[in-house]
Chain A
Amino acid sequence: MAKEPKPQEIISQINYNPPQKSWMDIPVEMKEGMFCYGAKEKSLQTLDFPNVRSWSVLEEDWKLPEKWDKIVLEGIAERLKKYRSFKIFMDICVRCGACADKCHFFLGSGDPKNMPVLRAELLRSIYRKNFTAAGKILGKLAGARKLTLNVLKEWWYYFYQCSECRRCSVFCPYGIDTAEITIIARELLNLLGLNIEWIAGPAANCYLKGNHLGLEPHTIKNSIDFLVDEIEEKTGVRVSPTFNRKGAEILFVTPSGDLFADPGTYTCMGYLMLFHELGLDYTWSTYASEGGNFGFFTSMELAKRLNTKIYAEAKRLGVKWILGGECGHMWRVINQYMDTFNGPADFLEVPTSPITGTKFENAKSTKMTHISEFTADLIKHKKLNLDPRRNDHLKVTFHDSCNVARGMGMFEEPRYVIKNVCNHFYEMPENTIREKTFCCGSGSGLNASENMEMRLRGGLPRANAVKYVQEQYGVNMLACICAIDRAALPPLMNYWVPGVDVTGVTELVANALVMKGEKKRTTNLRGEDLSVEEKADV
């Protein structure tokens, strides 16, 4: 039982001094390492966004349009009409503070403006001043303030320090979704051309070429061909993926990061091996070559634009359904927004596993199934020949990706898969996993290199939990099902918990997968020696 403080102890802790300054009176200061560079002219132009110009965050003049404040206020008015949730979120917060200490950026930085309640107040204060009677009359007394250039810069600084992970919303007694407040704030900023390049660049690439990295069709094919060679070298099996193939049963879509950078490439090799082993009738697309959606970090309109291409491609190719790879926000977009954007996808069929016959009813409107659900179903029906001893050198823990956990409610499937392909699995503490999972600190398009300090601060609560299982159980591998995680967690581990590596779940599956016609495996997909005696029956 917790020790209850004595009355004298409580009284002695009361501080009768008012805070030195109200948060409204503390001007924002742009600190290097904490923000990402501003969106480039070229990216804004490609996306057909307003106020295309070259600008710099550290310069005084952000080259805003004339009457920028009018544009913002009209933008708020329009969104209050359009999104009832936004209006409610602006009105009902009682500032109870339940969310205040739940944000990884606050926990890591100690900056009060990273408390979700205060971050939301940055916008609410302007809402009150311009859209409520109390705010118009009482001003600061009612928590209202005027929209000034400093307020706008403060918005830009702090709404690009929120990774939209929604951990805070889990604890809100009113169910306020602070991520949606950030989403609206970013929409408003984008009315003035105030994006960050790390979001605008990939979004422009995706709009123009189909994926965030800007890979063109021949490069995608070359990248996958390279991985095919690697698989053959490691397993002796030559897999033969197809591209843009009309009439395939399944379209497979995954984040483009998996095609390019380690450790995502090993996960990608895992997909190729798994699908080959199953004899799946599937195709890659060089047009819908991105599962992620950086439009979602910009505006609903752009999110819709980028989401559309996946479904347009599914229609063009005439596939029956879509299988999606390991990605975070891609699944939140599919699960929470796609149906409103582009659904229902009636031209497709309800995803049905051709191997087990399982109909994925949960995806009957979006027609898109998650690779972990698909794989868990295969394992449940004993359709895979697995030798988990090949992963015996690993002591694995699992990081619930925010969007898959809180945005989709998927907790069990990846754990079920890991437990069937690894013999050593350890959970992190209860208040750091599942719906309470801590963000990697780099979500919602904040995984640039120039804001590394901010990312490391935001990632501290996650890393702190990993460190605990490293100390307790010798954990040396952090598994995840998100491409941003696979890019962001390695430097996070390198800094906070050296000795812990990062993997996608499908990489673990592929290492344990005993393929028909394979040679004796001497290394895993990373080329590391396997000192496991192969199964006698293989």
Chain B
Amino acid sequence: MTLNDSLSKNRESIINRWFDLIVDSYPQNTADFIKSEKNRFANPVGWIIKKGIEDIFEGIIQNKSDAQFFPILEDIIKIRAVQEFAPSEAISFIFLLKQALCEKVVIENNELFAIESKIDTLAGISLDIFMKCREKIEQLKANEDRVLKKSNS
């Protein structure tokens, strides 16, 4: 069985495990809520993370290009960028896929390098997006300060 077959076959259990690992980085009360509430509008953070990692996983199986991962990763990272995470913590959700894979599938040595490299690349892209989000936040602050200055002049 190739790695792709194995990923497809264990899709649900890998994604669920990956989701739990990410959500467990929140305080316990919060994590319980994020895991249990399924409504997109009552639980935006949980829904966006779940949808995001499903799309990332699908992208890996379909061998999407790096550029195609940008919009997929963006929604999750936008949230991480406003939630007090240090850059390394903000993108750590990508590396948690390694742990989920280790627990749920057996990966042959010759395929290990490829999947690890893909995850590392996604982490790099995530960092780029994180920095863009932070720049955007600073820009929003500066815009408001400018308007305020105008009102005081």
Q: How far is the CA of A110 from the CA of B34 in the complex (A)?
A: 9
A461 to B44, CA, bound (A): 6
Interface size on A, residues (CB 8 A): 38
Question: Which of A399-407, A490-498, A506-514 binds B?
Answer: A490-498
B1 within 8 A of A: no
**Which single residue of chain A is at the shortest CB-CB distance from B134?**
A453
- By beta carbon, the residue of chain A nearest B141 is A449
A500 at the interface (CB under 8 A from B): no
Q: Please give the residue numbers on chain B whose beta carbons come within 8 Å of chain A beta carbons, in ascending order.
A: 26-30, 33-34, 37, 39-45, 47-48, 78-79, 82-84, 133, 136-137, 140-145, 147-148, 151-152
Closest beta carbon of chain A to B18's beta carbon, Å:
18
Q: Which residues of B contact A109 (CB under 8 A)?
A: 83
User: Is there contact, CB below 8 Å, between B82 and A464?
Assistant: no
Task: Give the contact stretch, choosing among A71-79, A100-108, A315-323, A526-534.
Answer: A100-108
List of 5 A-B pairs having minimum Cβ-Cβ separation, nearest first: A449-B144, A464-B44, A110-B30, A491-B140, A449-B141
A431-B42, A460-B44, A464-B48 known; A453 vs B28 contact (CB < 8 Å): no
Any B CB within 8 A of the CB of A112? yes
CB of A496 within 8 A of CB of B78, answer: yes
B34 contacts across to A, CB distance below 8 A: 110
* Given A460-B79, A495-B78, A495-B136, A100 contacting B33 (CB threshold 8 A): yes
With A261-B151, A431-B41, A464-B48 in contact, is A110–B144 under 8 Å at CB?
A: no
B9 to chain A, nearest CB (A): 22
A302 on interface, CB distance cutoff 8 Å: no
The verdict on A461 contacting B41 (CB below 8 Å), with A452-B137, A456-B82 known, is yes
| B45 with A115: CB separation less than 8 A | no
Among B45, B137, B145, point to the contact of A460 (Cβ < 8 A): B45
Given A449-B144, A495-B137, are A107 and B44 also a contact pair (CB < 8 Å)?
Answer: yes
In the assembled complex, the Cα of A12 lies from the Cα of B39 at a distance in Å of 23
Using known A-B contacts A456-B82, A491-B143, determine if residue A449 contacts B137 with beta carbons closer than 8 Å: no
Shortest Cβ distance from B138 into A: residue:
A452
A111 within 8 A of B: yes
* A260 within 8 Å of B (CB atoms): yes
Q: Contacts A31-B84, A110-B26, A260-B151 known; A101 to B33 CB distance under 8 Å?
A: yes
Report B-chain residues with C-beta under 8 Å of the C-beta of A450.
Answer: 141
Q: Which residues of A contact B28 (CB under 8 A)?
A: 15, 19-20
Are A110 and B37 in contact, with the CB atoms below 8 A? Answer: no
Do residues A495 and B83 form an inter-chain contact, with CB atoms below 8 A?
Answer: no
How many Å from the CB of B133 to the closest CB on chain A? 8
A449: B residues at CB distance < 8 A: 140-142, 144-145, 148
> In whole angstroms, what is the CA distance A214 to B148 when docked?
12
- Docked pose: A61 CA to B76 CA in angstroms: 38
Q: A448-473 toward B: CB 8 Å interface, digit per residue (1/0)?
A: 01101100110011001100100000
Chain B contacts of A348 at CB under 8 A?
none
Supposing A101-B37, A261-B147 touch, asked if A110 and B45 sit within 8 A by C-beta, the answer is: yes
- State which of A100, A456, A468, A494 has its C-beta within 8 Å of the C-beta of B41: A468
Which residues of chain B have C-beta atoms less than 8 A from A31's C-beta?
84
Contacts of A343 in B (CB 8 A): none
What residues on B are CB-neighbors of A495 within 8 Å? 78, 133, 136-137, 140
* Cβ-defined contact, B137 with A453, below 8 A: yes
Can you list 5 A-B pairs with a CB-CB distance of less than 8 A?
A15-B28, A112-B29, A453-B137, A464-B47, A465-B41
Q: A431-B42, A464-B44 are in contact. Are A110 and B78 (CB under 8 A)?
A: no
**Is there an interface contact between A432 and B147, defined as CB atoms closer than 8 Å?**
no
Chain A residues with CB under 8 Å of B141's CB are: 449-450, 452
CB neighbours of A379 from chain B (8 A): none
Residue with the highest number of chain A CB atoms closer than 10 Å, among B28, B43, B44, B48 = B44
Residues of A within 8 A of B48 (CB): 464
Contacts of A20 in B (CB 8 A): 28
State whether B78 touches A112 (Cβ < 8 A). Answer: no
| 0/1 string, A232-274, CB within 8 A of B gives 1 | 0000000000000000000000000000110000000000000
